[in-house]
């Protein structure tokens, strides 16, 4: 849903207190977001050019997808989130929680190194991280790794035992 202001988001949430999935696309006036209901499990933040900070994320949140929110300069608080999709923003990535199952990183040119993959990670997709030069150690649960547009990642980094790695372009 498209929201211009925090008030519009608050009004929508008041009318839908048990919502489990929400996609927020913001206008130029949407600088911050209200607290989301605890029932929320999936949150998409897309094209929010004025959004400056993370909202409070409910404990039940399992999937967070963030795209084209250029004024957010820090990564989200990860506590309890099973899947995180982010991009683009310049910044750092803190340690990821072991509860994380799926990770997608898109267009993060400012990232120079990756944090360790969580022990529970099963699937990872990494696109557009030109600054990374090596991957973190792979845990035994990781079954799928897709890499694209990471030109400084040497081919020697892609020998990871029995793991199937899909490279989606020639330049890695």
In this predicted model, which residue has the larger pLDDT, 137 or 165? Answer: 137
Whole-angstrom distance, CA of residue 155 vs CA of residue 3: 44
- Please confirm whether the linkage preceding 81 is cis (ω < 30° from 0): no
Closest CA to 127 of 66, 86, 83, 82: 86
The residues that bridge with 167 in the sheet, in sequence order, are 147
Model confidence over 74-116: pLDDT tens digits? 767 766 677 777 766 666 676 777 778 888 888 777 788 888 8
Higher pLDDT, 120 or 83: 120
Indicate whether 171 pLDDT > 50. Answer: no
DSSP state, residue 68 = S
DSSP 72-106: --SPPP-TT-SEEEE-S--S---PPPTT--EEEEE
Sheet holding 42-46, edge to edge: 2-3, 21-26, 42-46, 63-67, 83-86, 102-106, 123-127, 144-148, 164-167
Query: Tens of pLDDT along 25-47?
Result: 988 889 899 999 999 989 998 88
Domain assignments of the chain as residue spans, ordered by start: 1-72, 80-172
CA–CA gap between residue 138 and residue 75 (Å, rounded): 22
């Amino acid at each position: 849903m498209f929201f211009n202001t925090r008030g519009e988001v608050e009004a929508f949430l008041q009318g839908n207190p048990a919502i489990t999935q929400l996609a927020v696309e913001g206008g130029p006036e949407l600088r911050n977001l209200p607290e989301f209901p605890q029932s929320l499990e999936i949150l998409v933040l897309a094209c929010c050019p004025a959004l400056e900070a993370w909202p409070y994320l409910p404990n039940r949140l399992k999937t967070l997808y963030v795209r084209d929110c250029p004024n957010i300069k820090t990564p989200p608080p990860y506590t309890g989130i099973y899947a995180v999709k982010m991009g683009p923003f310049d910044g750092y990535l803190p340690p990821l929680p072991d509860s994380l199952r799926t990770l997608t990183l898109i267009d993060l040119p400012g990232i120079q190194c990756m944090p360790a993959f969580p022990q529970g990670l099963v699937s990872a997709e990494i696109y557009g991280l030109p600054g990374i030069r090596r991957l973190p150690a792979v845990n035994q649960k990781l079954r799928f790794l897709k890499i694209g547009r990471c030109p400084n990642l040497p081919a020697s980094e892609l020998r990871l035992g029995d793991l199937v790695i899909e490279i989606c372009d020639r330049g890695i």
